[in-house]
């Protein structure tokens, strides 16, 4: 029988917990000073300093975990014919080699569009994007071969009821269906390489392309998935119409109020967060999480419940964190807390938001436009939008 052992906490995790204890102690002193109407500027500065240290230590632990998950593409000395043809195009611009490859494996889309890359590069880029794009880790991701992904959804349930085994069955009502469409838009990056780099046989060009487009694509995606307009880009979930939860309707995202303009309520602010947690239906709370940026998280980190316990806690050895027991995903593109801002989202993002990747990454080699550099114009099609409007609710920082 194999004996399982639990790994000891890392030095980074222990340092994080020590910093968190120091943060709690100092913040308690700050709160006591406020209650005594003798606010201490030095205490405020100390709390902010420890809070920054806490965020930095947590970010370091997350980077260590991320580096361990980052996919790598091992070099293969025995390159297949397809790999050889693709490599010949990237390194020397030899397009004739591609003619020997089956159209399904590597097809020409036109002189200006370049060539479809092998599936390995497509998967490598998607894996790298998932590692650095928070929304890709919590939303549902679908791959399609069309420019538009269409999904029928049921707005109302089908009619049902109880009946005896031999009794007549009444005709049931059909569900109300809505057809959601998620068009994909072109995302591009223009990479520059020297001929020396291309001539170096030890350089894995697919790995190089994937690493170069990783942050360029991820930066565009992170903004689009949150606030994209849907015009030649994905529709961000904050760009949809928003409505107070009491008047919630399909194709609108519901919200609750924080209790104060541009801030949490001055009295019992945690109650408003609890209200947000219990706004989604139970089936959407099972896999629910909070989404906010680091500045908003810094404000939440200072809040305590009625039992004088902090509602924020580090989890997973410091690699994660939770509010009221629900995990948190930091998305820097979420708005800062301000008057009428929607700075916190809560719910099941896997059921809420859909990301659509059209299969195929295109690469156009251009050795002429910027001599002596060789340019690689890399494009892929990505779409996104809300697929279930009940799954996530927002907090609006307003009194009414």
Tell me what pLDDT residue 161 has: 72
Contact 328, 378 (CB under 8 A): no
- Which of 291, 275, 295 is closest to 352 using CA atoms? 291
Tell me what pLDDT residue 7 has: 47
Tell me what pLDDT residue 168 has: 75
Angle at which helix 41-69 crosses helix 119-132, to 10 degrees, equals 160
Tell me what pLDDT residue 1 has: 42
Other Cβ atoms less than 10 A from the Cβ of 44: the count is 15
Query: How far, CA to CA in Å, does 132 sit from each of 4, 66, 321?
Result: 32, 8, 18
Exposure b/e, 364-390, CB count within 10 A at least 16 = b: bbebeeeeeebbbbbbbbbbbbbbbbb
- Which of 239, 247, 313, 290 is closest to 395 using CA atoms? 290
Contact 121, 209 (CB under 8 A): yes
pLDDT tens across the length of the chain (400 residues)? 444 444 445 677 777 788 878 888 888 887 777 776 666 677 778 777 877 777 777 777 776 666 655 554 444 433 466 677 888 888 888 887 665 554 444 444 444 467 888 888 888 888 888 888 899 999 999 999 889 999 887 766 666 778 777 777 776 666 677 788 999 999 999 999 998 999 888 888 889 999 999 888 999 999 999 999 999 999 999 999 999 998 888 889 999 999 999 999 989 999 999 999 999 999 999 999 999 999 999 999 999 998 999 999 988 776 789 999 999 999 999 999 999 999 999 999 999 999 999 988 899 999 999 989 999 999 999 999 999 999 999 999 999 8
**Looking at the DSSP assignment, which residues form a beta bridge with residue 315?**
320
- Which of 242, 122, 220, 224 is closest to 183 using CA atoms? 224
The Cα 325–Cα 92 span in angstroms is: 55
Element (H or E) spanning 366, and its range?
strand 362-366
Tell me what pLDDT residue 128 has: 87
């Amino acid at each position: 029988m194999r004996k399982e052992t639990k790994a000891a906490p890392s030095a980074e995790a222990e340092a994080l917990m020590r910093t968190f204890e120091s943060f709690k102690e100092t913040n308690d002193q700050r709160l006591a000073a406020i209650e005594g109407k003798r606010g201490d500027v030095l205490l405020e500065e100390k709390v902010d300093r420890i809070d920054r240290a806490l965020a930095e230590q947590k970010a370091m632990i997350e980077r260590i975990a991320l580096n361990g998950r980052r996919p790598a593409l091992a070099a293969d000395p025995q390159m297949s014919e397809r790999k050889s043809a693709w490599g010949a195009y990237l390194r020397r611009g030899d397009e004739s080699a591609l003619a020997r490859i089956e159209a399904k494996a590597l097809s020409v889309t036109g002189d200006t569009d370049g060539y479809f890359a092998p599936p390995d590069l497509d998967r490598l880029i998607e894996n790298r994007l998932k590692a650095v794009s928070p929304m890709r880790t919590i939303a549902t991701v679908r791959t399609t071969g069309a420019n538009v992904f269409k999904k029928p959804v049921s707005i109302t349930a089908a009619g049902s009821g109880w009946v005896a085994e031999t009794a007549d069955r009444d005709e049931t009502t059909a569900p109300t269906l809505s057809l959601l469409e998620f068009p994909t838009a072109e995302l591009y990056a223009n990479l520059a390489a020297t001929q020396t780099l291309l001539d170096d046989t030890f350089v894995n060009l697919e790995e190089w392309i994937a690493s170069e487009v990783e942050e360029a694509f991820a930066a565009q995606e992170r903004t689009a998935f949150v606030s994209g307009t849907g015009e030649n880009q994905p529709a961000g979930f904050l760009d949809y119409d928003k409505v107070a939860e009491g008047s919630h309707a399909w194709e609108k995202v519901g919200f609750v109020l924080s209790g104060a303009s541009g801030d949490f309520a001055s009295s019992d602010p945690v109650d408003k967060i609890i209200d947000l947690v219990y706004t989604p239906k139970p089936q959407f709370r099972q896999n629910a999480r909070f989404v906010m940026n680091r500045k908003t998280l810094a404000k939440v980190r200072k809040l305590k419940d009625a039992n004088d316990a902090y509602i924020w806690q580090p989890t997973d050895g410091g690699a994660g964190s939770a509010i009221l027991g629900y995990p948190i995903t930091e998305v820097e593109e979420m708005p800062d807390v301000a008057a009428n801002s929607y700075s916190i989202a809560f719910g099941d993002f896997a059921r809420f938001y859909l990301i659509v990747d059209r299969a195929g990454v295109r690469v156009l080699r251009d050795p002429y436009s910027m001599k002596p550099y060789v340019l690689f114009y890399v494009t892929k099609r990505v779409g996104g939008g809300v697929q279930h409007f009940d799954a996530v609710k927002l907090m609006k920082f307003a009194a009414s």
